[in-house]
A and B are shown apart, each in its own frame.
Chain A
Amino acid sequence: MQLRTQNLTKNFGNRCAVDHVNLNFERGVYGLLGPNGAGKTTLMRMMVGILPPSSGKVTLDGVTIGELGAKYRDILGYMPQEVGYYRDFTAKRFLQYLSALKGLDPKYANRRIDELLDLVGLADGKNKKLGQFSGGMIRRIGIAQALLNDPRILILDEPTAGLDPNERIHFRNILSELSEERIVILSTHIVSDVQSIAGQVILLKEGKVVNCDTTENLRHMVEGKVWLATVTHGELNELKKRFPIGNVLQKDDHFEIRIASDSKPLQNATAVEPSLEDVFIYVFGGQAE
């Protein structure tokens, strides 16, 4: 199974949200990493076939997803960035409705729904109306609905946004438990989400793919370009203008900071082992979460 984007492009007016993206997905977990407005959502919408590209195409094993139609959707699970739901449906009824849309056998569906509600920790709330759910609970329902048909292609747009730290860890465990025989693509601007689970990380900046590699290789890319330094408040402000700064840690009246720079930025700076977060800072030049 090979999911490909070929010169995938989307223009909104004269603004290019996704710019000639060529990606190749085979089984495994892919992290789509990029700051706000990088084009993650736009790219994913085109990949699930709900936004027609301005040019380029998405193919599965050489056939465009448009041609595949229902066959493609049958093996697809999608969770949008903003999860839609019906306020007056209970969690269970909502998932039953989506099971029907996904063409699942009702008996199997009911078993699967209980399983998934358990998995996302909402077994107690299954008869509660979605209108009473918190934002994080809705996102968990969003994850559950994407998994209903046991999809071989799972596309999740910021699945961890709004989840508390426990749920975030729980979610990572869910993802890593999913069998290997599938393509999982998740977008995020939170580095720690992809660090542990994504086999491959795609760095997206202003609609273009900057890099697509394993976490390990990406870290190698910035080796020797990440520095640790202790500075004063005044120095920090000065440095902020010149370098991307990450991870500011206040210690008494000093600040311990990480600086991304091709050469040594300060006399007292020491090169450190880069983390994925440093890659983010290096590439996107801003503060990572």
Chain B
Amino acid sequence: MNLTIAEFKKIVSKKYVWVLTLLLVLFYAYLILNIGDNFSVVYSKRALQPVFQEIMDAAYDPQVQEYVIKNEFNVTFDELKPVISPKIAQTIEQYQGKIYKGYDVPKELKDEAALRIESLVERNVTINGMIKELESKPDTPLNRYLLQQYTHMPKMEPNLTRWDDWIDINHSMLPLLIAFVVILGVASVYTGEYTSKMHGILLTTKNGRSKLFWSKLLASCLFAAIVVIIFQSLAALLYMHVYGLPFKNTPMNSLTSFYKMPNTMWALEFYLRQLAGSLLGAIVLTAVTLCISSLCRSNLVSFFISGIYFGLGALYSLSLEGQYITSKVTIFADVSTFSLMSLTDVLGNAKVFIIGSHAIPTIRLTLITQAVIFAAALLLTYVFYNRKEITA
């Protein structure tokens, strides 16, 4: 019998783990599908797809920009019509009220298009303004960083690709669900041995100390990885069903929630990093939960303390407003395991931490902190498990 497999079976043979996981899966599916039923959320995004390119071109036209700014971002499509190229206007009018790739293109396409053009112009103006402002500001590490980022910003694109929905997958709900299931499965890995009184026997066997420790770690990480895969695939399938696949890569900066952030990354790259963060975070959480488990005497206590460890970081991180500076206070949220699992705040907002004359991307601190926590958790687990006096 392979020890790692045996340990893995111990984790997954607990019925409550699977029952609760199933309930959470259903709950999550219900939640996402319900948003999808609220069709207007999806509607406006799909509706503009046929004129995607035209809107973008219009927004980059200096003449259009000037007109929109002059009218304080409050113009109708008909007012814009003389300024934009006839070809753009023609295309937009051509699709209005028709069926395109299976969607009803609404009658209000014109108004929608005008709104989009305005918002894109606004973004361009905002960022150009920021660059100008930064150039005249004193040369601090933060200003240098922001100037560097904003001048290297990819070209704006209309936000039609569904990436803003996909980026949102890992914002809050999914990391919480994954963490819950991981903690549920792993919290009893050591306490289970204590409560079943196996601890004494295990510690007197040849492989019951270090080899068993590694087997338990490996089995728990395997469990965590499977949980991450299950929930990420489920989320991807649901989002595919509700919003459709993102059809084109787009700069993060074109997405509504990030458009003022000094982020030069592209959405696909960010999403893939979120997946990696989800896995790494789950593994750090596994190590921390193992450590707590090795220290506690009951499954429930171990579960709650692990939950508090993750929950505090999550709560704090989610309470932060979108900002790109990590302060001495918010750093605790930014380097938390939750932040690694979500990445939305830390990496999406391209946060930096200012130390002396350096602006350090906060994500580096998050990764370093989590690596240290991981190593420390392993070390402590080993010590606690082996040193725990058997007196009961």
Q: Which of the segments A77-85, A115-123, A183-191 contacts the partner chain?
A: A77-85
When C-beta atoms are compared, the residue in chain B nearest to A94 turns out to be: B198
A88 and B3 CA atoms in complex are apart in Å by: 17
A82 and B201 CA atoms in complex are apart in Å by: 10
A49 and B389 CA atoms in complex are apart in Å by: 10
Please state if B196 and A45 are interface contacts (CB–CB under 8 Å).
no
B195-234 vs A: 1/0 string, CB under 8 Å?
Answer: 0111111111111110110000000000000000000000
The smallest C-beta distance from B236 to any residue of chain A, in angstroms, reads 34
When C-beta atoms are compared, the residue in chain B nearest to A48 turns out to be: B204
Q: Quick check: is A106 within 8 A (CB to CB) of the other chain?
A: yes
Size of A's binding interface in residues, CB under 8 A: 35
Most buried by A among B193, B205, B389: B205
Given the interface pairs A100-B2, A100-B3, the reply to whether A88 lies near B13 with Cβ below 8 Å is yes
Question: B355 contacts which chain A residues (CB < 8 A)?
Answer: none
Q: Quick check: is A70 within 8 A (CB to CB) of the other chain?
A: yes
Question: A98 contacts which chain B residues (CB < 8 A)?
Answer: 201, 205
A101 and B201 CA atoms in complex are apart in Å by: 10
B352-392 vs A: 1/0 string, CB under 8 Å?
Answer: 00000000000000000000000000000000000101110
B contact face: mostly helix, strand, loop, or mixed? loop
A88 and B11 CA atoms in complex are apart in Å by: 12
Please state if B206 and A101 are interface contacts (CB–CB under 8 Å).
yes
Most buried by A among B1, B197, B212: B1
Those of A61-77 within 8 Å (CB) of chain B: 69-70, 73-74, 76
A184 and B390 CA atoms in complex are apart in Å by: 22
When C-beta atoms are compared, the residue in chain A nearest to B200 turns out to be: A80
A79 and B198 CA atoms in complex are apart in Å by: 11
Please state if A100 and B6 are interface contacts (CB–CB under 8 Å).
yes
A48 and B390 CA atoms in complex are apart in Å by: 11
Q: Specify which of B196, B199, B211 is in contact with A86 (CB 8 Å cutoff).
A: B196
A74 and B206 CA atoms in complex are apart in Å by: 5
A86 and B13 CA atoms in complex are apart in Å by: 12
Please state if B199 and A99 are interface contacts (CB–CB under 8 Å).
no
Given the interface pairs A70-B209, A97-B1, A100-B6, the reply to whether A84 lies near B198 with Cβ below 8 Å is yes
Q: Quick check: is A135 within 8 A (CB to CB) of the other chain?
A: no
Question: B10 contacts which chain A residues (CB < 8 A)?
Answer: 86
Q: Specify which of A83, A86, A101 is in contact with B207 (CB 8 Å cutoff).
A: A101
When C-beta atoms are compared, the residue in chain A nearest to B391 turns out to be: A51
Please state if A76 and B204 are interface contacts (CB–CB under 8 Å).
yes
Q: Specify which of A52, A84, A85 is in contact with B199 (CB 8 Å cutoff).
A: A84
Question: A12 contacts which chain B residues (CB < 8 A)?
Answer: 391
Given the interface pairs A50-B390, A51-B389, the reply to whether A100 lies near B207 with Cβ below 8 Å is yes
Question: A9 contacts which chain B residues (CB < 8 A)?
Answer: none
A70 and B391 CA atoms in complex are apart in Å by: 22
Question: A83 contacts which chain B residues (CB < 8 A)?
Answer: 197, 201
Please state if B206 and A70 are interface contacts (CB–CB under 8 Å).
yes
Given the interface pairs A83-B197, A97-B1, A100-B1, the reply to whether A49 lies near B203 with Cβ below 8 Å is yes
The smallest C-beta distance from A94 to any residue of chain B, in angstroms, reads 10
Given the interface pairs A45-B390, A51-B389, A101-B212, the reply to whether A84 lies near B200 with Cβ below 8 Å is yes
Q: Specify which of A49, A85, A100 is in contact with B204 (CB 8 Å cutoff).
A: A49
A50 and B208 CA atoms in complex are apart in Å by: 12
Question: A76 contacts which chain B residues (CB < 8 A)?
Answer: 204
When C-beta atoms are compared, the residue in chain A nearest to B201 turns out to be: A84
A69 and B212 CA atoms in complex are apart in Å by: 14
Please state if B2 and A78 are interface contacts (CB–CB under 8 Å).
no
A73 and B205 CA atoms in complex are apart in Å by: 5
Q: Specify which of A80, A82, A96 is in contact with B1 (CB 8 Å cutoff).
A: A96
The smallest C-beta distance from A215 to any residue of chain B, in angstroms, reads 29
Q: Quick check: is A103 within 8 A (CB to CB) of the other chain?
A: yes
The smallest C-beta distance from B194 to any residue of chain A, in angstroms, reads 9
Question: B391 contacts which chain A residues (CB < 8 A)?
Answer: 12, 45, 51
Q: Quick check: is A145 within 8 A (CB to CB) of the other chain?
A: yes
A145 and B200 CA atoms in complex are apart in Å by: 13
A97 and B3 CA atoms in complex are apart in Å by: 7
A278 and B371 CA atoms in complex are apart in Å by: 65
Question: A100 contacts which chain B residues (CB < 8 A)?
Answer: 1-3, 6, 207
Question: A109 contacts which chain B residues (CB < 8 A)?
Answer: 1
The smallest C-beta distance from A259 to any residue of chain B, in angstroms, reads 38
The smallest C-beta distance from B277 to any residue of chain A, in angstroms, reads 35
Please state if A97 and B209 are interface contacts (CB–CB under 8 Å).
no
Question: A172 contacts which chain B residues (CB < 8 A)?
Answer: none
Q: Specify which of B2, B197, B387, B389 is in contact with A84 (CB 8 Å cutoff).
A: B197
Please state if B206 and A80 are interface contacts (CB–CB under 8 Å).
no
Q: Quick check: is A102 within 8 A (CB to CB) of the other chain?
A: yes
The smallest C-beta distance from B139 to any residue of chain A, in angstroms, reads 60
A45 and B203 CA atoms in complex are apart in Å by: 11
The smallest C-beta distance from A120 to any residue of chain B, in angstroms, reads 16
Please state if B390 and A78 are interface contacts (CB–CB under 8 Å).
no
A residues in contact (CB < 8 Å) with B: 12, 45, 48-52, 69-70, 73-74, 76, 78-80, 82-88, 93, 96-103, 106, 109, 145, 149
Jot down 7 A-B pairs with beta carbons below 8 A, ordered by A.
A45-B391, A52-B389, A76-B204, A83-B201, A84-B193, A86-B10, A102-B207
The list of the 8 closest CB pairs from A to B, nearest first, reads: A84-B197, A84-B198, A101-B205, A78-B204, A100-B1, A50-B390, A74-B206, A96-B1
Since A73-B209, A149-B205 are in contact, a sample of 17 more A-B pairs with Cβ atoms closer than 8 Å, ordered by chain A residue number, is A12-B391, A45-B390, A50-B204, A50-B389, A51-B391, A78-B201, A78-B204, A84-B197, A87-B196, A100-B207, A101-B202, A101-B205, A101-B207, A101-B211, A101-B212, A102-B207, A103-B207
